[in-house]
Amino acid sequence: MRSTIRGSSPKRGFGIVACVALVMAMNGDALPVLKAQSASTAAAVPDLSGVWDGTRRSHPINGPTVPWARTVPEGTILPDGTPADRNYVSNFPVLNERALAFQKIFDEPLSPKYDCQPSTPPALEFDPFNMEVVQWPDRVLLRYEKDDQLRTVWLDGRQPTSRDYGVQGFSVGRYESNALLVETTHYVFDITGFDDYNGIPSSQQKKVTERYWRDGDQLKATVTVEDPMFLRKPTSYTMRWLPAPKGYKLKAFDCDPEAARLSVQFIPPRYK
Amino acid sequence: MKVGSRILFASVLTAGFLARATPVVAHHSAAAAYDETKRVEAQGTVTKVLVRNPHSWVFLESADDKGQKIEWQIEMGGVPSMAWAKDALPIGAAVKVAGNPSRAPGSHGITGATFTKADGTPVGPRGGRGEYTPR
């Protein structure tokens, strides 16, 4: 007696499955290969997990000259917790003509943050709130108190598709030299996506590269931004987090639209 | 101090007054909404405290120099920085506040605020400037 699948032959059933798989692959729906980084490199996985204090205890509060500064007086504490020396090199972005034009017409009330749209890298990391790192074999979760954001860094080799554009982009990563390297692309246009203090936008071509590593009990990261639509060359900052108090759990941000937009009334209108 | 109490003074000083508080508002460019080179002082009665993210707000009922009732809106840090406010700024409390004035003509906003009692005693941590760290 021949075995059947609901009356169909095994051969026909296999054919149906193969056809479905082929159609999915043609549409880009194929399941990603779920695999963690190989065992040979797993030994180099640094322990970055935990809740990290990103408040003013760890680094200066963000502002028009922090973390992006043209000049810094000698001795000023830098975002990575070290004092600036006299040879400080500006990390303020070199803007192209398009960026300068956007800056010129920029109107502060346009900032999406006044309606609770979450901030994104490179600002999200630096905002003065705590964050948590969760390391799983196939991904790293970056949870931020600021704006209740969750970023997933895929370690399994998957790559973004054309449907993966989003506010936080799409992040892939790998461990290398005892550090976590993260590359994020597929951002959507954001009129303050580079820096909300200086009115610098970011485009769909923004690419943020982050390198996270442990320095004693501190977590450090170098955040590098490329965006050929607005920046003439990449620029970066290095910052640190300190361990959060033992047992600390992230708190909900619950951005309140009323509280977020209230200060807009105090901005002299630039356009009618 | 009762509702409708008048402003002792709402003087605007110039940039020389740079013993200003470290800005506690990290959400946006405060310079767009507030003049950080100037200083305003006012007093009134606390009518509402919104402890919220991204920013908290303290509302004071006061009066201008013509006796007209006005409301000061004082922008503070987010929830983690405002744990002190529940006890230190109860509804009906009389306080003085000094900080950077809002830019829009005719508006009554303040940020970078320092709170004191009528006798000058600081209200809250950091000498009346509030607390920014989440502890």
pLDDT tens readout for residues A74-102: 999 999 999 999 999 999 999 999 999 99
H or E, element range at A170 = strand A170-176
Strand A207-215 to A179-185 pairing: antiparallel
Question: CB B52 to CB A256 under 8 A?
Answer: yes
Query: What is the token pair recorded at A169?
Result: 């982009």
What whole-number distance in Å separates Cα of residue B17 and Cα of residue A268?
23
CB of A226 less than 8 A from some CB of B? no
Considering only CB atoms, A128 lies closest to which of B26, B75, B135, namely B26
Average pLDDT of chain B is 79
Question: CB B80 to CB A267 under 8 A?
Answer: no
Q: Is residue B7 one of the residues assigned to a domain?
A: no
Considering only CB atoms, A268 lies closest to which of B23, B103, B111, namely B103
Q: Is residue B63 one of the residues assigned to a domain?
A: yes
**Residue B134 scores a pLDDT above 60:** no
Question: Residue A135: its pLDDT value, please?
Answer: 98
Q: Which of A40-44, A90-94, B40-44, B69-73 has the lowest mean pLDDT?
A: A40-44
Return all residues near B105 (Cβ < 8 A) that are at least 6 apart: A268
Q: Which residues of chain B are within 8 Å of residue A113 when distances are taken between CB atoms?
A: 27-28, 54
Buried b (16+ CB within 10 A) or exposed e, A178-210: ebbbbbbbbbeebbbbbbbbbbbbbbeebbbbb
Question: CB A266 to CB B102 under 8 A?
Answer: yes
- Determine phi and psi for A59, rounding to 5 degrees: -160, 160
Q: Is residue B23 one of the residues assigned to a domain?
A: no
Q: Is residue B12 one of the residues assigned to a domain?
A: no
User: What is the phi-psi region of residue A118: left when phi exceeds 0, alpha when psi lies from -120 to 50, beta otherwise?
Assistant: beta
Provide the chain B residues 60-99 that lie in CB contact (below 8 A) with chain A.
Answer: 73, 75, 78-80
Which percentage of chain B shows pLDDT scores above 70? 74
**pLDDT: which is higher, B17 or A52:** A52
Nearest Cα to Cα of residue B78 among A244, A145, A142: A145
Question: CB B134 to CB A260 under 8 A?
Answer: no
If you compute the radius of gyration of chain A from its CA atoms, what whole number of angstroms results? 23
**Domain count of the fold of chain B:** 1
CB A187 within 8 A of CB A206: yes
Q: Is residue B93 one of the residues assigned to a domain?
A: yes
| pLDDT tens figures, B52-61 | 999 999 999 9
DSSP A188: P
CA distance B38 to chain A (A): 15
| pLDDT tens figures, B98-110 | 999 999 999 999 9
CB A211 within 8 A of CB A233: no
Question: CB B132 to CB A253 under 8 A?
Answer: no
Q: Is residue B133 one of the residues assigned to a domain?
A: no
Closest chain A residue to the Cα of B23, Cα to Cα:
A61
Q: What ipTM did this prediction achieve?
A: 0.80
Q: Which residues of chain A are within 8 Å of residue B135 when distances are taken between CB atoms?
A: 245
Strand A179-185 to A170-176 pairing: antiparallel
Provide the chain A residues 96-115 that lie in CB contact (below 8 A) with chain B.
Answer: 108, 111, 113-114
Q: Which residues of chain B are within 8 Å of residue A62 when distances are taken between CB atoms?
A: 26
CA distance A115 to chain B (A): 10
CATH number reported for the structural domain that contains residue B66 in this entry: 2.40.50.140
Question: Residue A38: its pLDDT value, please?
Answer: 55
Question: CB B33 to CB A57 under 8 A?
Answer: no
What whole-number distance in Å separates Cα of residue B95 and Cα of residue B118?
6
Considering only CB atoms, B107 lies closest to which of A63, A111, A266, namely A266
Q: Which residues of chain A are within 8 Å of residue B104 when distances are taken between CB atoms?
A: 265-269
Question: Residue A22: its pLDDT value, please?
Answer: 47
CB A206 within 8 A of CB A225: yes
CB A48 within 8 A of CB A133: yes
Give which of B20, B22, B25, B28 to mutate to test A binding, by max A Cβ within 10 Å: B28
Considering only CB atoms, A108 lies closest to which of B29, B56, B107, namely B29
CA distance B132 to chain A (A): 8
Q: How many CA atoms lie within 13 A of B73 on its CB side?
A: 20
Q: Is residue B11 one of the residues assigned to a domain?
A: no
Exposed, middle or buried by CB within 10 Å (0-12, 13-18, 19+), for A94?
A: exposed
- Rounded to the nearest 10°, the torsion over CA B115, B116, B122, B128 is 10
What whole-number distance in Å separates Cα of residue B135 and Cα of residue B124?
14
Query: What is the token pair recorded at A190?
Result: 């954001």
Question: In which residue ranges of chain A is pLDDT below 50?
Answer: 1-8, 17, 19-34, 39
Q: Is residue B53 one of the residues assigned to a domain?
A: yes
Considering only CB atoms, A267 lies closest to which of B78, B103, B111, namely B103
Summarize the confidence of residues B56-85 as an average pLDDT.
92
Return all residues near A175 (Cβ < 8 A) that are at least 6 apart: A37, A41, A42, A44, A45, A46, A155, A181
Closest chain B residue to the Cα of A116, Cα to Cα:
B54
Question: CB B32 to CB A63 under 8 A?
Answer: no
CA distance A61 to chain B (A): 7
What whole-number distance in Å separates Cα of residue A209 and Cα of residue A222?
8
Chains A, B: CB contacts under 8 A, how many?
99
Task: Give the domain range for residue B57.
Answer: 40-128
